[in-house]
Structure 1
Amino acid sequence: MHAKTDSEVTSLAASSPARSPRRPVYYVQSPSRDSHDGEKTATSFHSTPVLSPMGSPPHSHASLGHHSRESSSSRFSGSRKITPNDASRAPHGKSQKSWKQPDMIEEEGLLSEEDHHKPLPRRCYVLAFVLGFILLFSFFSLILWGASKPMKPKITMKSIKFDHLAVQAGSDATGVATDMISLSSTVKFTYRNTGTFFGVHVSSTPLDLLYSEIVIGSGEMKEFHQSRNSQRTVSVAVTGDRIALYGSGEGLSSSTGAPTIPVQLKLSFELRSRAYVLGKLVKPKFNKKIDCSLTLNPKHINATIPLTNSCTYD
């Protein structure tokens, strides 16, 4: 074996690069502009090896510079895009600060709305309920009143019968001489309640029998209650005892005391009806003024005189 010269060693080293000693490897880590780019920086740290200046060829520096510019630009653009994952990885203080302000504004808005829309006191609701009930009840009562008004009672005069009639000479309470008349009769009429949902209470003024505007007989009708959609026949006794006629009874007197000529009479009274639609709260009234004209023939004493076609109802 012979010793190798320096030129041989140099040529051997150039022809066998695999056997050259391992050069140290350096890694360059660019500073992150934002804490959200931690994950990308770690990726760049593992994917960008840089040879030391001592062992790298000249063209590797150029490629390193170009690669560094691209990686830094990509990191810069990536740092502007914040994803929900990045926000969750952000430091606790900074994330809370970025989301706390809108929450506080929204909460303050809700509080201000609650201040403007405070609930009314309970007494206001009670008062509103009472007023509403009164209005509703009044409206309902008005409807019932309007529905009951057309349902007026129907009254039909039937007849009158004179049981006794006599004219005699006499004197009044002051001692003035005059003719005196006495009579007894019975008046009949039918009363019909046409109301389909209410009963009526019926009363009347005195039934007056007049001769020449003088009341020669009167009768009181007993009050009664008529149920809904029903009718009855009412009989009222009309009597008079020693009623002074003064100068009006000249043609009526006779030796027997009975009139000898027909006598024109008038029967007048007012019938009052009060309906109870809703207890004592809704009570429509129905008043009827009745006037009947009749002629008493002396031959018709103790006979029934019809009144169907001789009466007016107002």
Structure 2
Amino acid sequence: MGQEATVGDTNHNRHRKGDKQQWKEFDAIEEEGLLDDDAYGKGVPRRCYFLAFVVGFFLLFTFFSLILWGASRNQKPVVTMKSISFNEFGVQAGMDFSGVATEMVSMNSTVKLRFRNTGTFFGVHVTSTPLVLAFSELTVATGTVKKFYQRRKSQRTVAVTLIGSKIPLYGGGVDLLSKEGKPIAPVSLTLDFMVRARAYVLGRVVKPKFYKRVQCNVVMDPKKMNVPISLKKSCTYV
């Protein structure tokens, strides 16, 4: 009986030692896992990397867009006035819409200008305000540049027709000398308009705009009807 008890105690002690060893191993594994969790917790989460990437991309894209915008602003289109020709200029007595007697002007003229796109990497869409031809600050004819697209590093000549029909001059007609409905002396006129151009450099993200105000002093010589009159030295550009 004593030997059996001794054997049983020995097996029991071995079992207890095995359990203690297993518990120690489990505790060590759990402790390593906690250490790993702590180390991962102290690191940078993955979502922070994604957020940093998005912010960095946005900043880089903005910086690149600003560079393109600045470069495009230095490549302004050039507008050059070429000539104007008067096809018709008639003066007649008449009445305005209220029945007041006054001199009236009807005219037809053609203005030619050259538009040059100096941009090396973008085209431009071009429009303008109405071209206004005035006599003594009274508008006697108007016309508009038809919208067009100009490729990069290219140019074109644009012809615009200005028409006025029975425009009352009121007191301004006193200075207009005429005979049989035709002026007998040169008539001083002013031409005023603005050219507007817009470029799409980076899709619709970078859209620089360009404006050029043109003002010209024009002389209508009745001896030069249907003859192009040079505007090379008659205009200012703002």
Unaligned runs of 5+ in 2: 1-27
- CA-CA distance at 1:126 after TM superposition: 2.9
Q: What pairs with 1:177-256 in structure 2 (closer than 5 Å)?
A: 177-256=101-180
* 93, 99, 103: which one aligns with 1:175: 99
CA RMSD of aligned residues (A): 2.3
Paired AA for residue 42 in structure 2: H
1:222-269 deviation digits (Å, cap 9, x = unpaired): 000000000000000011000000011123253311111111100000
Aligned twin of 1:300: 224
Aligned twin of 2:198: 274
Give the secondary-structure state (helix, strand or coil) at the position aligned to 2:175: coil
- CA-CA distance at 1:121 after TM superposition: 4.6
The answer on whether the counterparts of 1:200 and 1:274 sit within 8 Å (CA) in structure 2 is: yes
Aligned twin of 1:114: 39
- CA-CA distance at 1:202 after TM superposition: 0.4
Paired AA for residue 194 in structure 2: E
* 205, 213, 224: which one aligns with 1:289: 213
Aligned twin of 2:24: none
Give the secondary-structure state (helix, strand or coil) at the position aligned to 1:151: coil
Higher Rg of the two aligned structures: 1
- CA-CA distance at 1:135 after TM superposition: 1.2
Question: How far apart in 1 are the matches of 2:33 and 2:220?
Answer: 99
The answer on whether the counterparts of 1:260 and 1:298 sit within 8 Å (CA) in structure 2 is: yes
Unaligned runs of 5+ in 1: 1-102
Question: How far apart in 1 are the matches of 2:169 and 2:78?
Answer: 36
Residue 55 (structure 2) pairs with residue 131 (structure 1): yes
Q: Comparing 245-254 with 198-207, which one deviates more in the overlay?
A: 245-254
- CA-CA distance at 1:117 after TM superposition: 1.5
Paired AA for residue 195 in structure 1: G
After superposition, the Cα gap between the structure-2 partners of 1:115 and 1:280, relative to the gap in structure 1 and judged at 3 Å, is closer
Question: How far apart in 2 are the matches of 1:234 and 1:279?
Answer: 27
User: Identity of aligned pairs, percent?
Assistant: 55
1:269-294 deviation digits (Å, cap 9, x = unpaired): 00001111111110111100000002
Give the secondary-structure state (helix, strand or coil) at the position aligned to 1:181: strand
Give the secondary-structure state (helix, strand or coil) at the position aligned to 1:271: strand
Paired AA for residue 120 in structure 1: P
- CA-CA distance at 1:133 after TM superposition: 1.6
State the TM-score, normalized to the length of structure 2. Answer: 0.82
Question: How far apart in 1 are the matches of 2:196 and 2:169?
Answer: 31
Give the secondary-structure state (helix, strand or coil) at the position aligned to 2:183: coil
Question: How far apart in 1 are the matches of 2:196 and 2:150?
Answer: 12
The answer on whether the counterparts of 1:158 and 1:307 sit within 8 Å (CA) in structure 2 is: yes
Residue 77 (structure 2) pairs with residue 150 (structure 1): no
Aligned twin of 1:261: 185
The number of residue pairs the alignment matches comes to: 212
Give the secondary-structure state (helix, strand or coil) at the position aligned to 2:76: coil
Question: How far apart in 1 are the matches of 2:40 and 2:155?
Answer: 67
Question: How far apart in 1 are the matches of 2:37 and 2:84?
Answer: 86
The answer on whether the counterparts of 2:188 and 2:220 sit within 8 Å (CA) in structure 1 is: yes
* Bigger relative CO (Cα 8 Å, ≥ 6 apart): 2
Paired AA for residue 114 in structure 1: A
